[in-house]
Structure 1
Amino acid sequence: MRKLIVIAIILLVGVITACSDDNATPSDRFSNYINHWNEKEFDKMYAMLSKSAKENYPTEQFVDRYKKIYQDLNVSDLKIEAEPLSDKESEKAMKDGKVSIPFSVSMKTTAGPISFDYEANLIKQEDKDKENWYVDWDTGFIFPEMKDSGELRIDSTTPARGEIRDRNDMPLAMNDTIYEIGIVPENLGEDAEQNKKKIAQLLGLSIESIDEKLNASWVEPNLFVPIAKITKEDEALWNELVAINGITRQETTGRIYPGGAATGALVGYIGQVTAEELKKQKENNYSAQDTIGKRGLEKLYEKQLRGIKGSTVKVINDGEETILAEKEAKDGENVKLTIDINVQEKIYNTLDGDKSTTSVIDAKTGETLGLVSSPSFDPNEILYGTTTNIWKKLEEDKENPLLNRFSSTYAPGSVIKPITGAIGMKNGTIDPKEGLNISGLTWSNGEGWGDYEVTRVSESNGPVDLHDAIVRSDNIYFAMQAVDMGAKAYVEGLKAFGLGTDFPFEYPVTASSISTSEKLDDEVLLANTSYGQGEVEMSSLHLATAYTAFLNDGNMLKPTLLTSEEKAQVWKDKLITPKQANIIKEALRDVVVDGTAKRSAKNAKFPVSGKTGTAELKLTSDSDGQENGWFVGYPTDDEDIIVSIMIEETKGNSGLSTEKAVEILHKMKE
């Protein structure tokens, strides 16, 4: 009996299931279709099409077409809605085996919002011995205007890229006419291979790359095939090229960098977007044909510079054009810098290829006038150069022109000593008038130091006070003061000067660091840090910024890069008192008059103040290492600009940084 009941229940469930399939309403069925559509599940939508629709539109014509169109349009916020049929309409549909259901579609696209109303025809058909409702689909479901062979076209308008300009509106990155060099295959003549070889040599291309372009599927014998771009200034190159059969040119617009290598590290360059970048920029409507900022300011301000593409979505049917959505292109914004191209070029030319970083700021406003990394690269060479394997050449260059030195940090050496002195005066551990009795050229604090000793360049003829210690650059004085001050107080002072925290600047500059742990728990490390050795590192721009405190009554200014930024912002206020700032200034003046910079600055045409520094980079205390030379200084009388310069590998010529800094100041004051 129990077995019969179980069998009966199974049969009953089967009957109910069969009835639910056979009696599914068209509204329920179309609701499922809409759900798949809203989720862009095109393969599941295709499974619900009628037999005739599937015959007319194979899978790839349906699924792949939907995917491509929605992808090209960058469709988002897709919403399809339909009102359910009334009971009376459903009853009639079940009787007739067919029904029409109105629905509405809305979406956002690259060209703006698109919405439309359409009508879906559903028919009842048998499939695999079961009846169900199927959508009798046509191309009008994509857009009504596409019904009856309408062709969808998406036209894109590229906006003009914004320019990067200096404080005087001189262009650093601009859009200008360039020449696209191309070959008309049928004009190469009988010596085609020899001509291609000449072209390859002149343009720094391989013959294989030229052949690849000439063998593209779209190429016809009489068509212009672009192979390279050159600037208008390359007229001599063009004169050589035009003498070769088959060569011609067309004018187009390209990105030009008037500052060349002088601004290369700062401004950067643009380039063809890569597949990886396309993935990252998925939401920002880039295509494989677009360019994108690759480095420097071009990359940093990509969003502002790029602008917004214009787009028109239209359907062409029987010669008639229907616009579905349209958005005008919006040109990119210009970016105006506080940088002065004249200052930038004067710095770069003065450095003359030295491995160096130089920052120049307005001491009263905080505006950055120059940011130079040397040696550098010319962005025009990267975009339009004719050097074969330009990237390989740059990457293998031992001078490392691709390294952005002004955004990097280095051991500051003795240029940190005025900062150490300021910290001690602020916290009361250094009395500027009190002299320390120091004998000999070495000093150790005894137990815990092992064999390590702090050394100084020259002996003193009596007690050493702060002024004398800065002028003579006495390592032992600052080491003693830091040890007496203690790690906690000194670290707090360094942090007050902005070390160990993000540097507040538009361009990414590496944060200056106190040590690898941002602590000075080891007393030897504390002593070494006080005079710019140990693990402390600062950027040239941070050092220039720190010195603004001495010229602004103890207030350190915030460095700015854009003219739109507020001038003379205070980053760190009341680091020292105005009186203490004057004590530091007097010492900085005497560094040049009677101290470590006297010989190097002997040719100064006007009074200069500043601090020299030598940072020795070595693995052990008894080994020789690379020496980097520093100078941070300013015109004594005007106190209007601060130059911070570091030159690598100055061993044997420690005064080179001072000489270069003075030369830069001269050129700026001309």
Structure 2
Amino acid sequence: MKADGKKMKIAVGAVALTMLITALALAAYRSVNTPERSLERYFDAVSGRDYDKMYLLISDDSKKTISREDFITRNKNIYEGIEARDLKLEIMSVEKIDSNQRQAYYNLRMETVAGALGNPGNVRLRKDSFFGEYRLVWNSAVILPGLSETAKVSVTTTAADRGSILDKDGNMLAGPGAAPSVGFVPGKINADTRAADLAAAAGLLGITTEEIEDALSASWVTAETYVPVKTLPEIDAGLEAALLQIPGVMIGEAEVRSYPYGEKAAHLTGYIGAITAEELEALKNEGDYRETSIVGKGGLEKVFDRQLRGKDGGTITVSDTSSDGIKTSRVLCESSPVRGFDVQTTIDTGLQTALYDQLAGDKSAAAAVNPKTGAVLALVSTPSYNPNTFILGMSDAERDSLNRNPDNPLLNRFEKAYAPGELIQPVTLGAGVKTSEAYAEQLKKLGFGESLPFDFSMEASKISESGTVDSDLAAAGSGTTGMAASPLHLALIYSALVNGGNMVEPYIKYDANPMVKYWKKDVISQEKAAEISESLLQEAKSPKGRALAVKTGTAVQKNSVDTALCVLFYADQTEESPLLVAAVAEGTGERGGAGYLEEKIRAVF
């Protein structure tokens, strides 16, 4: 009897334990399988643009009304068309309908091409069995508020005006401008001579007759419409007269991004153009960039693109036709374009153009700074190109000519690093360095092996190909054993001679009351800085009568090209307008090498 009682207790205990485990499992399941969690999972999939997962999370009844392909197409077209991002779901309440159905009320906020959109909505969630998961009873209103199954969503955008780039005095380096626009009025074209006339116009404009025909055949063109076919940087009287002799030709003006200093500041300003797929991928997490965006393609346009480009405006419109044929349209969300900010720089356009004019015949680069404040006054690269041609439309022949030019005018030489030659001696051997180890440490103190703290991506300076200095100190001291530094870096190194041994930190965004910052402190002693500066002083004064300090040198670059280098600066830096210029020029041996370059740079002082 006792044994039977014991068995009974064990059986009861087992049942109780089973019931407890079941209850705990059911509670755990219910805590996970909630309508709230299902709704969150769905909109997480929306946020991640995982349309396949979204389809899995809708009810079986919903799948009978829309195929997977149609579901994905509709959701993808709308969400990506309005550029939905940064979704934030707030579930307001969930009401019970029956044992397997709930009604969820929520607010969904998202950023779109037209600004912030609040999407208050509600949706039914259903589970098909007791242990089934809640899934959405889906319709198009889940995508956007009040959206019917037949409604169409359209998006229009209005480009924001781009801010201007200004020099230190407020002169425009890049900004709004006008350019001659050549086109046709179709109704005034002579039908009898059409083919010959279009060919003549194409020849004068450097385009093909096919390009003109494509423009004239656009769907919006009428007989009286002006159809632009080519925008020019400028038009002389001869070309204008020749074009106007052709029946139907009309010359007007087009609003364009303008670069008044053209090739004199091309590598400094850069230019703008349509965003590439690679650029869009790189910028996808950095704000309002889309497939139609216009972005900076180098220079200041690229460095300050975020500030300059502003924010495009947009409108999201829902259109529908009722069962009785009545058409309706409503604006769901809209925003106005916001103009980009102007960016004022430290550039002195007078100095920029003067340096360019002096160096235009060479493959060269120059960096000019105020060595007391670090303000960058000029950055020059020659040969150059006209950035306006990129804005106005370049023919294939023009583009091929630039790309194939052996002088490589598209290369930004002021960003490159060059073997510094003898220019490195005053701040190394001249500063008392005696051993190769000390030499390497001195170069590190001068910033070799580091990136410059500057907005432009200058090629990093290096001590040598290996990063070390061998025992041949004399060879290392020549500045040609794999050593390299950009013109701007050389200018900063020499700024230490007028700052008591401290290298100034460069900046290019204008500040009316700049606070001087030093990139590297105590790279040489104050006494040694004064001594070296005195040793570089020239008897011949500048064209303005001020005392000049000069250091020149030559070096063979790793591409075996002989290069002349020089640094010039005012020795009387306490006076107004401090100035220091570092320059390099390739292949100038037959024209006098370093002496030739020195005279070129001396002229701008």
* 1:219-234 pair list within 5 angstroms: 223-231=225-233
Tell me: CA distance 1:506–1:162, structure 2 relative to 1, closer, same or farther (3 Å): same
Match of 2:579 in 1: 641
2:123, 2:237 → 1: CA distance?
63
- Counterpart position of 1:72: 81
Mapped partners of 1:31, 1:638: distance in 2: 70
Measure how far apart 1:523 and its partner are. 2.2
CA gap 1:132/1:496 in 2 versus in 1, 3 angstroms: closer
Residues 203 and 387, structure 1, Cα contact 8 Å, conserved in 2: no
Aligned in 2, Cα 1:196/1:273: closer, same or farther, shift over 3 Å?
farther
Aligned match of 1:452: none
| 8 Å contact from structure 2 (residues 270, 299) kept in 1 | yes
How far apart are residue 279 of structure 1 and its match? 3.3
Instruction: Tell me which amino acid in the other structure corresponds to 1:297.
Output: L
Checking the alignment, whether the CA contact within 8 Å between 1:167 and 1:336 is kept in structure 2 is yes
Matched, 1:566 2:566: no
2:548 corresponding residue in structure 1? 608
Instruction: Give the match for residue 506 of structure 1.
Output: 455
Matched, 1:353 2:361: yes
Residues 490 and 387 from structure 1, CA distance in 2 versus in 1: closer, same or farther, beyond 3 angstroms?
same
Say if 1:206 and 1:281 are closer, same or farther in 2 by CA, change over 3 A.
farther
Structural mapping, 1:99-118, within 5 Å? 101-110=103-112, 111-118=115-122
Q: Percent identity?
A: 30
TM-aligned CA distance change 1:618 to 1:78, over 3 Å: closer
CA distance in 1, matches of 2:54, 2:243: 57
**1:633-664 residue CA offsets vs partner (Å, 9 max, x unmatched):** 12334562112121111213121111101112
Please say if 1:518 is aligned against 2:467.
yes
**Partner deviation per Cα, 1:302-325 (whole Å, 9 max, x = no partner):** 111111222333435667654433
8 Å Cα contact 1:33-1:45 kept in structure 2: no
Matched residue SS, 2:597:
helix
8 Å CA contact 2:446, 2:493 repeated in 1: yes
Q: Which moved more, 1:603-612 or 1:535-544?
A: 603-612
Cα shift at 1:513: 1.1
Which of 376, 382, 397 does residue 368 from structure 1 map onto? 376
Tell me, which stretches of 5 or more residues in structure 2 are unaligned? 1-32, 321-325
Q: Which residue of 2 aligns with 1:549?
A: 496
1:567-606 aligned at under 5 Å gives the runs 567-589=515-537, 592-593=538-539, 606=546
- Which residue number in structure 1 is paired with residue 299 of structure 2? 296
Q: Distance in 2 between matches of 1:70 and 1:388?
A: 37
Change in 2 beyond 3 A, CA 1:261/1:231: closer
TM-superposition CA deviations, 1:82-105 (whole Å, max 9, x none): 86653xx326xx8xxxx8845435
Paired position in structure 2 for 1:432:
none
- Range that drifts further, 641-650 or 602-611: 602-611
Q: Which moved more, 1:278-287 or 1:406-415?
A: 278-287
Q: How does 1:644-655 map to 2 (within 5 A)?
A: 644-652=582-590, 653-654=592-593, 655=595
* Matches of 2:136 and 2:493, distance apart in 1: 73
Structure with the greater alpha carbon radius of gyration: 1
The residue aligned with 2:596 is 656
- The runs of 5 or more residues in structure 1 that have no matched partner are 1-26, 125-130, 430-484, 620-624, 666-670
**TM alignment of 1:73-88, pairs within 5 A:** 73-76=82-85, 77=87, 79=89, 86=96
2-structure distance, mates of 1:234, 1:312:
42
SS at match of 2:384: coil
Quick one: distance in 2 between partners of 1:82 and 1:375?
65
CA contact (8 A) 1:269 1:293 kept: yes
Residue number in structure 1 paired with 2:210: 208
User: Displacement, 1:535?
Assistant: 1.4
Distance 1:500 1:123 in 2: 63
CA 1:530–1:114 in structure 2 vs 1: closer, same or farther (change >3 Å)? same
Residues of 1 paired with 2:156 and 2:314: CA distance?
6
Cα contact 2:202–2:208 (8 A) shared by 1: yes
1:82 and 1:104 in contact (8 A); partners too: yes
CA contact (8 A) 1:423 1:494 kept: no
CA distance in 2, matches of 1:69, 1:247: 42
Q: Given the superposition, is the C-alpha separation of residues 38 and 534 from structure 1 closer, same or farther in structure 2, using an over 3 Å criterion?
A: closer
**Counterpart of 1:579 in structure 2: which amino acid?**
E
Partners in 1 of 2:583 and 2:218 — Cα distance? 52
Letter matched to residue 279 of structure 2: E
Distance 1:541 1:136, change over 3 A: closer
Q: Distance in 2 between matches of 1:135 and 1:386?
A: 53
Question: Would the alpha carbon gap of residues 277 and 556 (structure 1) be closer, same or farther in structure 2, given more than 3 Å must change?
Answer: closer
TM-score w.r.t. length of structure 1: 0.73
- The amino acid of 2:602's aligned partner reads V
CA pair 553-143 structure 1, distance change in 2 beyond 3 A: closer
Per-residue CA deviations over 1:10-55 (Å, capped at 9, x if unaligned) read: xxxxxxxxxxxxxxxxx98998687445413545666857879966
- Which stretch of structure 1 is more off in the superposition, 101-110 or 397-406? 101-110
How far the C-alpha of 1:81 sits from its partner, in A, is 5.2
SS in 2 for 1:347: helix
Structure 2 contact 35–102 (Cα < 8 Å) conserved: no
Name 1:631's counterpart in structure 2: 566
Change (3 A) 1:388 1:101: closer
Structure 1 pair 90–498 and aligned structure 2 pair: CA distance change class (3 A): same
Return the letter of the residue paired with 2:156: D
1:332 matches 2:336? no
Question: What secondary structure sits across from 1:515 in the alignment?
Answer: coil
**1:379 counterpart = 2:382:** no
Q: What is the letter of the counterpart of residue 259 of structure 1? A: Y
Aligned to 2:21: none
Please give the per-residue CA displacement for 1:265-316, whole angstroms capped at 9, x wherever unaligned: 1110001222333333334343433311111111122111111222333435
TM-score in terms of structure 2 length? 0.80
**Cα distance between partner residues in 1 of 2:52 and 2:164:** 46
SS across alignment from 2:425: helix
User: How far, CA to CA, are the matches of 2:396 and 2:296 in structure 1?
Assistant: 23
* Structure 2 counterpart of 1:417: 425
The alpha-carbon distance between structure 1 residues 173 and 581, as it changes in their structure 2 partners (threshold 3 A), is: same
Distance 2:155 2:92 in 1: 28
The residue number in structure 1 matching 2:172 is 171
> Which amino acid letter does the alignment assign opposite residue 295 of structure 2?
I
Tell me how large the CA RMSD over aligned residues is: 3.6
Structure 1 residue 254: Cα displacement: 1.7
Instruction: Give the structure 2 partner of residue 39 of structure 1.
Output: 45
Give the residue type in structure 2 aligned to 1:382. Answer: F
Query: Which is further off, 102-111 or 371-380?
Result: 102-111
Amino acid corresponding to residue 365 of structure 1 in structure 2:
T
Q: In the alignment, does 2:506 pair up with 1:538?
A: no
